[in-house]
């Protein structure tokens, strides 16, 4: 199968989904009202609540959600064949991720831009807040642990990428200073910074950086040194003001994302490469079953609970008009689905161009597929780049810099969000030092994932990625439950929300039980002592939340008004109800 045919067909489905399905959601399910006063106007403070052009909000939202996960997950999942992976990415984006991201944003805007955890308390019930916080804590812990290993593996496998990545930090700070002090647009300085970063790639090839001497001096493995250094950086980055490093890195990564996507798309079109992988892979006996594990292995890129944290955390505070939620939320999901699509093509068509092995050797078994996923994507992008005349060695470093940059940005945000969650949990359990001491909360947010990342072997991708995917999809399902209850309370048809909600709850519960049985009967002590109890806690909390959401949904359905809400939202919404923002007239 020519890769360009798959590319064009998938992008066409994404376009149709945005054109028609998101319009249906906007009008009939979420009933967006252009006259509704958004929180950005109602609580405008020039810091968090800022009415912003929808294209700028989209850029912020897209870069915040599009990290390394939509690259890594599909790169692992093609182990079962490109057909199942592609089907889940395309259908999941259109009918699950779009509904989830769009819905979380719309509901947050109608509730004063509150976070999804707080919304769970208000929409479902008071107990759900604490339960949701536990799930989010586990999710962020696993995100930070896995992405630190992604960065470590790439630093060790591509030491030529270390210098360009290190240069990114002072350049991002310089961009932040320039934009903050001059009150100017970030486009030009971010492009200049990106040009400098790419100019450092040949320099990195001449002077590759490793930590082998330091590791030898300390008597530890190089991976241990890299992981500690990465979390030390994340600790410091999460304590800096967002405008100093996090936001300017978003500016630079926005340009980098566009360059990477353009290079892949052009490479596929020019090279006319054929997909080397089978549609359905005849996996070795004893391999994990793609049903249900495919649907948690590909989390980001099909649907991701992490997106609801962003939609209801920062994005909802910036919408100028409520109707912008369709473009920002649904199109953001489509953008990440496109990145996952590129990952599938890179790992099934591009990778064989520069690899000394055929595809079946790269995906010989689950362990090989998991451990080599990121490297396969990097080599796949390099393969497409050679179609454009770029040397394979230079393209490989470029691809590694892209993945590392995305993963590092996610960790910057992840550790910061983890600190917020630790403080919120500290408030609930009345542990004052955790709630009030920023340094202590950040230490906890850093050390817990650091301990998981330090576990040797293929733990991160062979095992931890499945737990991450399960928790991430569980968070998505719970966010959909909040949206479904709210839609039902407004007497609108919740079917578009309920279908992905039920599907995710079944898949995640099934995956949790499957993994629990595997961990409990494993020969590995860490599986029985650490992972089995962790899996059990997540499952119990999830089951509890599902019951709470089911009860709330039943009550909302029983109390619904016949005939549904009028077009453009209810009169209550337009006037500003108890759970709404602040009325009309921006």
d(C-alpha 137, C-alpha 23), whole Å = 34
Q: Are 73 and 477 in contact (CB under 8 A)?
A: no
Name the band, by pLDDT with cuts 50, 70 and 90, for residue 466: confident
d(C-alpha 333, C-alpha 341), whole Å = 12
Q: What is the pLDDT of residue 501?
A: 95
Task: Show the tokens assigned to 180.
Answer: 């903050």
CA distances to 113, 177, 253 from 248, rounded to whole Å, are 24, 9, 8
Q: At 68, phi and psi to the nearest 5? A: -85, -15
Q: What is the mean pLDDT of residues 180-194?
A: 87
The owner of tokens 């500690």 is 228
d(C-alpha 525, C-alpha 444), whole Å = 24
Angle at 109 between CA 106 and CA 115, to 5 degrees: 95
Q: Find all residues with CB under 8 Å of 353, minimum gap 6, and list them.
A: 271, 273, 380, 382, 383, 384, 386, 387
Task: Show the tokens assigned to 478.
Answer: 């719970």
Q: Are 365 and 287 in contact (CB under 8 A)?
A: yes
Burial of 126 (0-12, 13-18, 19+ CB in 10 A): exposed
Domain ranges in the chain are: 3-575
CATH 1.20.1740.10 fits 3-575, yes or no: yes
Name the band, by pLDDT with cuts 50, 70 and 90, for residue 457: low
Render the burial of 532-561: b for 16+ CB within 10 Å, e for the rest: bebbeebbebbeebbebbeebbeebeeebe
Residue 548: name the closest of 108, 128, 78, 200 by CA: 128
Name the band, by pLDDT with cuts 50, 70 and 90, for residue 360: very high
Check pLDDT > 70 for residue 586: no
Check pLDDT > 50 for residue 569: no
3-state SS assignment for residue 578: coil
Task: Show the tokens assigned to 57.
Answer: 């909000």
The owner of tokens 């039920």 is 502
Where are any strands of DSSP class E within 488-565? none
Q: Is 95 left (phi over 0), alpha (psi -120 to 50) or beta?
A: alpha
The owner of tokens 């700070």 is 173
Q: Percent of the chain scored above 70 by pLDDT?
A: 94
The owner of tokens 């769970």 is 120
Mean pLDDT comparison of 44-53, 172-181, 394-403, 575-584, highest-scoring range: 394-403
Q: What is the mean pLDDT of residues 214-235?
A: 95
Secondary structure (DSSP) of 305-330: HHHHHHHTTTGGGTBSSTTHHIIIII
Task: Show the tokens assigned to 540.
Answer: 């119990």
The tens digit of pLDDT for each residue in 119-142 reads 888 888 887 888 888 888 888 898
d(C-alpha 235, C-alpha 20), whole Å = 44
Q: Are 474 and 538 in contact (CB under 8 A)?
A: yes
d(C-alpha 249, C-alpha 407), whole Å = 12
Check pLDDT > 50 for residue 578: no
Rounded to the nearest 10 degrees, what angle do helices 392-428 and 69-77 cross at?
Answer: 110
Residue 38 DSSP code: -
Q: First vs last Cα of the chain: how many Å apart? A: 52
Task: Show the tokens assigned to 357.
Answer: 């092995």
CA distances to 127, 207, 252, 393, 399 from 158, rounded to whole Å, are 47, 12, 21, 10, 10
Residue 544: name the closest of 190, 130, 214, 251 by CA: 130
Q: Are 393 and 488 in contact (CB under 8 A)?
A: no
Check pLDDT > 70 for residue 564: no
Check pLDDT > 90 for residue 91: yes
Q: What is the pLDDT of residue 284?
A: 92
């Amino acid at each position: 199968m020519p890769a360009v045919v798959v590319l064009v067909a998938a992008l066409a489905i994404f376009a149709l989904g945005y054109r028609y399905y998101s319009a249906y959601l906007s009008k009939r399910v979420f009933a967006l009202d252009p006259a509704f006063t958004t929180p950005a106007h109602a609580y405008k403070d020039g810091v968090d609540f800022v009415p912003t052009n929808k294209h700028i909000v989209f850029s912020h939202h897209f870069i915040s959600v599009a990290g390394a996960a939509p690259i890594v997950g599909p790169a692992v999942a093609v182990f079962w064949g490109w057909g199942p992976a592609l089907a889940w990415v395309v259908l999941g984006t259109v009918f699950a991720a779009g509904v989830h991201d769009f819905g979380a944003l719309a509901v947050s805007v109608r509730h004063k831009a509150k976070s999804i955890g707080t919304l769970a308390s208000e929409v479902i019930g008071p107990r759900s807040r604490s339960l949701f916080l536990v799930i989010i804590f586990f999710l962020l812990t696993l995100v930070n642990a896995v992405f630190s290993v992604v960065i470590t593996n790439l630093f060790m496998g591509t030491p030529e990428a270390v210098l360009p990545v290190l240069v990114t930090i002072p350049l991002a700070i310089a961009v932040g200073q320039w934009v903050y002090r001059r009150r100017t647009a970030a486009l030009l300085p971010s492009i200049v910074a990106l040009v400098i970063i790419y100019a450092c790639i040949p320099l990195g090839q001449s002077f590759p950086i490793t930590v082998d001497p330091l590791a030898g001096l300390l008597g530890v493995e190089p991976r241990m040194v890299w992981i500690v250094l990465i979390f030390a950086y994340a600790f410091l980055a999460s304590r800096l003001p967002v405008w100093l490093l996090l936001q300017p890195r978003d500016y630079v990564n926005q340009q980098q994302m566009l360059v990477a996507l353009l290079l892949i798309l052009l490479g596929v079109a020019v090279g006319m490469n054929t997909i080397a992988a089978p549609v359905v892979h005849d996996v070795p006996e004893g391999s994990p079953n793609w049903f249900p594990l495919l649907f948690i292995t590909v989390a980001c890129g099909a649907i991701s609970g992490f997106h609801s944290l962003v939609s209801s955390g920062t994005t909802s505070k910036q919408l100028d008009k409520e109707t912008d939620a369709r473009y920002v939320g649904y199109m953001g999901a489509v953008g990440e689905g496109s990145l996952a699509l590129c990952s599938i093509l890179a790992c099934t068509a591009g990778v064989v161009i520069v690899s000394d092995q055929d595809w079946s050797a790269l995906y010989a078994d689950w362990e090989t597929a998991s451990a080599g996923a990121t490297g396969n994507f990097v080599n796949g992008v390099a393969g497409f780049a050679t179609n454009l005349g770029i040397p394979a060695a230079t393209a490989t470093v470029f691809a590694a810099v892209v993945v590392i940059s995305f993963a590092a940005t996610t960790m910057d945000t992840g550790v910061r969000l983890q600190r917020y969650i630790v403080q919120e949990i500290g408030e609930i359990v009345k542990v004052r030092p955790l709630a009030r001491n920023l340094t202590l909360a950040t230490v906890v947010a850093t050390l817990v994932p650091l301990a998981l990342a330090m576990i040797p072997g293929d733990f991160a991708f062979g095992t931890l990625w499945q737990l991450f995917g399960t928790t991430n999809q569980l968070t998505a399902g719970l966010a959909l439950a909040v949206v479904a209850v709210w839609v039902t309370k407004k007497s609108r048809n919740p079917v578009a929300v309920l279908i992905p909600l039920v599907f995710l709850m079944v898949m995640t519960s099934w995956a949790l039980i499957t993994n629990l049985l595997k961990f409990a009967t494993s020969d590995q002590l860490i599986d029985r002592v650490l992972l089995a109890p962790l899996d059990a806690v997540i499952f119990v909390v999830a089951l509890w939340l599902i019951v709470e959401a089911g009860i709330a949904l039943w009550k909302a359905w029983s109390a619904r008004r016949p005939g549904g809400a009028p077009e453009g939202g209810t009169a209550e919404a337009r006037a500003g109800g108890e759970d709404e923002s602040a009325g009309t007239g921006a």
